[in-house]
Amino acid sequence: MAAKKSAEVIIDGKVYTLSGYEEEDYLQKVGTYINNKINEFNEMEEFRRLSADTRSTLLALNIADDYFKAKESVDKYQMDMDQKEKEIYDLKHDLIADQIKLENYEEKIKALEADKQELLVQKSKLEASLEDALLGDIAEDK
């Protein structure tokens, strides 16, 4: 198991120590995200007038909203990726089937070429035989 790591981060002007199994850069990124959200809300006059509990709740709701939107986006991309992987699988299957067909057609072409050569030889023999027979008949008639 990985060792726990800690990082000091400043959130809303206070120093916090974040601990976890992630790298320190990640812990700093989390702290920075929270701090940026707080600063974003603090820029709104209406937000600063709310009670601390209400501000915390609104901040938590906003972060949860960001999370669910990001999760929805990831889920959508995952579904797209799964669909693309299925399409790739189907295309590979089709490609293999087409390669097998091509190999079969190539074998048939070779067999037909061999048959053609054999038929040409037979044709030549028949033509020669016919010519001999015709020439023999002509010689007998004389």
Instruction: Divide the 142 residues of the chain into consecutive groups of 10 and give the mean pLDDT of each group.
Output: 88 92 94 94 92 95 97 98 98 98 98 97 95 77 60
Residue 125 lies in a domain: yes
Residue 124 lies in a domain: yes
* Rounded Cα distance, 46 and 40, in Å: 12
Residue 37 lies in a domain: no
Per DSSP, which regions of 1-142 are E strands?
5-11, 14-20
* Rounded Cα distance, 59 and 61, in Å: 5
- Per the structure, the complete domain to which residue 103 belongs is given by 76-142
For the chain, the domain total comes to 1
* Rounded Cα distance, 64 and 59, in Å: 9
Residue 123 lies in a domain: yes
Q: Is the pTM of this model over 0.75?
A: no
Token couple for 15: 């120093």
Question: Which residues make beta-bridge pairs with 11?
Answer: 14
Residue 54 lies in a domain: no
Residue 141 lies in a domain: yes
